[in-house]
Every structure is written in structure tokens, then in C-alpha cells.
Structure 1
């Protein structure tokens, strides 16, 4: 609630200042858009660019299409404000899901900046422009890496930045604190998850053609809204320990109480003459089964030929820990079927839930980016995904039988991205 109050205060302050000092205030408006048509060729699994968006297969004109607008408002000396809205194919269509940025910034000196409101997380190389297709090489940010980033790409809180020229390079340090709520859909239901007491630190260093970023974060998993998960945990809690000892530990692993998520990332970009090379690796650590520990990363190489850039990327995402093995309940001889059958079904449901959340996939893509105009880029890209058995946690899988299968998916996309 505190950080939501900060957003409201920042917006109110901006509005009051605008009305009071309208003659001295300068407002600049800009926008960006991507219009994309894509085709996913596997009918058994549904593709989505990230956790927040609708997953589907076949042809889609909304999967990677985005429209965004931003207002940069100079309020007074050392004070400014930024508001950004982004419209895309979110599964949850609440207004708040489309508000990407809404902050008030104060610069007490050339080296320091303090922001309050809705902020970008600064955990990733693309943190400042994840929706601006014009600004990066691919049709969409690498799936294995930025699917996870979508749930923590923005937060409500404050951050403090220090920047300084060092030798021939430029260093930027940022410390942030806040909360965020991931608003998802699961099985057609709202699935909201609060991440409380979020703390992040990032260090970015730019030297000639090189950009390096290191970041760490930690958050407590807070309240959630998902009726199916409530019912599932309550059923596990109702099982007598002697009958099924594992039920209690499964309940604790699915529940959000006393759960934390830790994350560390390292990114590197080399951009010089014809070559553009970029790579990121991220490691998460969490005992919470809904967002278990993962390692993910990618390497991307682009080569410029006049106005056309050819590129290719390799990406991977895997669970870091062994997948939880669900053991069957044990019954005394003669136990009535009215007792054994519901518990056996609960054990099967537990195994299905555990298996469904595992992420284990890798992909390769090739594509081309064409600078048509100063503000218009056309891209085409082909992705080939290899999803391992029990590894489709980033995909929509409606038939439980398909969870245990290996899947190969090809996604073809053509897009036009512009800024205005």
C-alpha cells in the first residue's frame, strides 16, 4: 500500500505542479509501435512472448504487436516526471497492467537522481525499453530470458541512482526498493501474486563499444489471488500425516508463506562497426514451486550490411534443482475406496502441478532487420524451440498428456517497428 500511495502522490504532485506552473512547464510526447504477424506451427502447445500475454498457436496479429505512448514533463529545475502506457495482448486487461511508468524524478546534482512512483526494474539490459521494438535487434526479446523478466519488469517504489565518469568509461549504480504485483491468468482464472519488500541493486559500466551490467534482487512472495491454488493447498493440509507424509511439505512448497525469490544477472553488449553481440545470463533461487530456481540466458550475434542487419541467437532456460518427486499415499490393508480414491487423485493432481511448472527448453533463431526509414524498421525472424518432456512451463498446454512429451515448435514472425 505504501508504494501505491507513492505512485498516487507522484501523479497528484505532477498534476498540481502542471496547473500551478503551466507557463514554466515543458511537456514532450512520444510514441512507439510494433505491428507484427506471426505463426506458431505446433497445435499441442500455445506460444506467448512472456508470462503476462495471451498464449495461442497458429496465426496471430496481436501476439507481438504493441502500441505505447510516453509523456516527459519538465516541472522545474532538477524536477521532471515520466508517464508511459503500453497496450499489448495481456491476458489480464486491468488498466494497471498497461501503466508501465509513472514517476517523479529529482536530480539534486549532476551525479545523483531519485525517482518515486512506478519504475522500471533495471535488472536487465533491455530494462529501459523492453517494449520498444525499434530499439533492439530481434522481433521480440529472447523468450527463454525475458519471459521471466515480464513479471518483474516494473515495480512501485523508489530508487536512487549515482552516475560518474571513470577514466574513459561511464559508471551507473542504482539501488531500489518497492513492491510489485504480477497479474496473470491461469486456467482462465485471475492469478495475482504480490512480491513484497523488493530490493534491487544494479551496476552498469559503459566503455567504448562495451556495455556491462550486473544486478541482484530479492523479494518476499506475498499474498496471492487464485482460487484453484487455495483449494489445492487446503486439500493438502487436510491429509493426515501418517497416510501421506509428503502432503504437508507439498502444501508448504506451493504456499506463498515465508517464501522468497533471489535473482542475479549479468549482461554484456559489444556494439562496434558491423558487429553487434549481446549476451545475458540470469540465475534465480527460490523454494517456491510456482517459481522454482532457474538458470536462463542467451547469446546473440548481429552483422550489419548497410541498412540490413543479419542476426542469430541461441537461448536456454532450465530448472536448477531436481524436480520434486511426488510419492503415493500409503494405506493400511482394507482401507475403504472412499478414502483411498480421493487421496490418490490428489497425489496425481500434485504430480501434474509439479510437472506443469518445470521449465526446460532451448531455442535458436535467425532473422534480418531492415532500416527502412529513420523511424521505421522492418524485421523478419524464424525461431525453433526444443521443449523437453516435463519442461513446458513457459507454454500453454491444455492437454495434460502433452506435458510429458517433447515438443518442437517453429515460430515465424514479420514485424514493422516505429517511433514517433
Structure 2
């Protein structure tokens, strides 16, 4: 059963603040987005949950936790840059948070260093994303007495359990990436870049790699990627 769906954020507001000197820079950013409506898949989940009301008196309160209409999500980050002779260090930490179960809280960040030698640059970076995983619990979330459910309601609950976890974890991401590479400025208008990435993807935290949420990883995975890029400026 697939409940997850695309969402649209409207009325985005935010601000940024930056301090900069000759060899360093520090910045912070904040954004807030409002959701106009519930995705179709989310509404299917909410309506499905409400069919269990005869056996689950508190289902209305539980279902509203997946509402996105008029919900709010916040993004905040702090980062900076520091130059030390031929070395430049970059870093940033960010967090996305919301009161709704359908939007998983997400922490992310990166740290990188670049060393310059004439027209060449050697760089390395470490990056991560991390979301908590929601797991539906009949006892913790519902207080349902499973033994008292008729067979049809029990089957419906098993489908809805899958749906709640699908919606709550659809935008979750948990991975760590190590990169190393180099750049050669061939001329003022041409540059060649080579980069190798190793990404450790946690089970169920592979949202950034998927085009079909039904194919989420059932175990941890390692992805290697090699990029070769030739850039032109006209």
C-alpha cells in the first residue's frame, strides 16, 4: 500500500545574516514554509485510519498528526569559511524540523578543505544527513487491544501500519559521504574536475537515491560514484 506523495510548500519566508572579513566568513540562515493542502496519498491514509474508529476511539487525534494542511516546517543553518594561506576550510550544519509526523526531522552538515597549487586544487569533504525513523506501535501509538479486533479490522490495521510508516519516513534520509578530488583550471574559461565519492546509506534512509518509494533499501548499503566534469565559461 503506497500512501506517500509529492508535497508543495507555499509562502516561504526567511532571512540570512553574514559576517565577513578578509580570511573568514560566518553565516546563518532561517526559512519557514507553510503547506497549503494535504497530498492525495496522505488523505487516503487519514481517511483509512478513521475507518477504525469503532475499535479505536482516539483515532481522530492520531490521524491529525499526519495532516499537512496549514502545517509549518522550519529550516535553520549555520556555516562558515576560513582561509589559511593556500588552504580553505568550509563547513555547515543545518536542521529541518516540523511538528507533523509526515515531515521527518532532518539534521545535515558537511566539512570540506581545499588546497590550491597554482592552477590546481585538491579537495576533500565529509557530509551527512540523519533522520529519526518512525515505527508504528499498536501499544505506544494506539492503545488498541489487538485480540479484540475482528479479522477484517486486523487486516485493515496491518495495511494502515505500513501506510503510516511510509508517510512518516518518506522524506527521511540517513547517510554519510566522503569525497576526494581535484580541479585543474586549464584556462580562464575552462576547468576539469575529477571527484570520487563513497556514501554509506542506512537502511530506510535512502530517500535521496530513490525515484520509487516502494524500492526502499531493506539493509545498509554502500554507493561509490566517480564524476568527471569539464566546465566552460563563454
TM-score under structure 2 normalisation?
Answer: 0.84
On the 8 A contact 1:299/1:313 being kept in 2, the answer is yes
Q: Supply the distance in 2 between the matched residues of 1:386 and 1:267 (Cα, whole angstroms).
A: 24
1:327 is aligned to: 137
Distance 1:323 1:250, change over 3 A: farther
TM-score under structure 1 normalisation?
Answer: 0.49
After TM superposition, list the pairs within 5 Å mapping 1:44-59 onto structure 2: none
Give the secondary structure class of the aligned counterpart of 2:226.
Answer: strand
After TM superposition, list the pairs within 5 Å mapping 1:66-105 onto structure 2: none
1:201 is aligned to: 15
Deviations 1:152-198 (A, max 9, x none): xxxxxxxxxxxxxxxxxxxxxxxxxxxxxxxxxxx8x97241232x3
After TM superposition, list the pairs within 5 Å mapping 1:357-376 onto structure 2: 357-376=171-190
Distance 1:194 1:358, change over 3 A: closer
1:294 is aligned to: 106
Q: Supply the distance in 1 between the matched residues of 2:87 and 2:21 (Cα, whole angstroms).
A: 16
Give the secondary structure class of the aligned counterpart of 1:353.
Answer: helix
Distance 1:295 1:339, change over 3 A: closer
On the 8 A contact 2:23/2:83 being kept in 1, the answer is yes
Q: Supply the distance in 2 between the matched residues of 1:349 and 1:218 (Cα, whole angstroms).
A: 27
Q: Supply the distance in 1 between the matched residues of 2:7 and 2:171 (Cα, whole angstroms).
A: 16
Question: Does 2:220 match 1:409?
Answer: no
On the 8 A contact 1:359/1:392 being kept in 2, the answer is yes
Distance 1:239 1:403, change over 3 A: farther
- Across the two proteins, how many residue pairs are aligned to each other? 227
Question: Does 2:130 match 1:318?
Answer: yes
On the 8 A contact 1:356/1:390 being kept in 2, the answer is no
Picking from 69, 72, 96, the partner of 1:284 is 96
After TM superposition, list the pairs within 5 Å mapping 1:120-269 onto structure 2: 191-196=6-11, 198-224=12-38, 226-240=39-53, 242-243=55-56, 245=58, 247-269=59-81
On the 8 A contact 2:183/2:194 being kept in 1, the answer is yes
Q: Supply the distance in 1 between the matched residues of 2:198 and 2:60 (Cα, whole angstroms).
A: 40
Deviations 1:20-74 (A, max 9, x none): xxxxxxxxxxxxxxxxxxxxxxxxxxxxxxxxxxxxxxxxxxxxxxxxxxxxxxx
On the 8 A contact 1:365/1:384 being kept in 2, the answer is yes
The Cα of 1:356 is off from its aligned counterpart by: 4.1
Q: Supply the distance in 2 between the matched residues of 1:384 and 1:298 (Cα, whole angstroms).
A: 14
On the 8 A contact 1:326/1:350 being kept in 2, the answer is yes
Q: Supply the distance in 1 between the matched residues of 2:195 and 2:106 (Cα, whole angstroms).
A: 26
Deviations 1:321-370 (A, max 9, x none): x533312353454x542332122222123234334432221110001111
Q: Supply the distance in 1 between the matched residues of 2:104 and 2:225 (Cα, whole angstroms).
A: 27
Give structure 1 stretches of 5+ with no counterpart. 1-186
Give structure 2 stretches of 5+ with no counterpart. 139-143
Q: Supply the distance in 2 between the matched residues of 1:345 and 1:244 (Cα, whole angstroms).
A: 19
The Cα of 1:396 is off from its aligned counterpart by: 0.5
Give the secondary structure class of the aligned counterpart of 1:382.
Answer: strand
Q: Supply the distance in 2 between the matched residues of 1:382 and 1:307 (Cα, whole angstroms).
A: 20
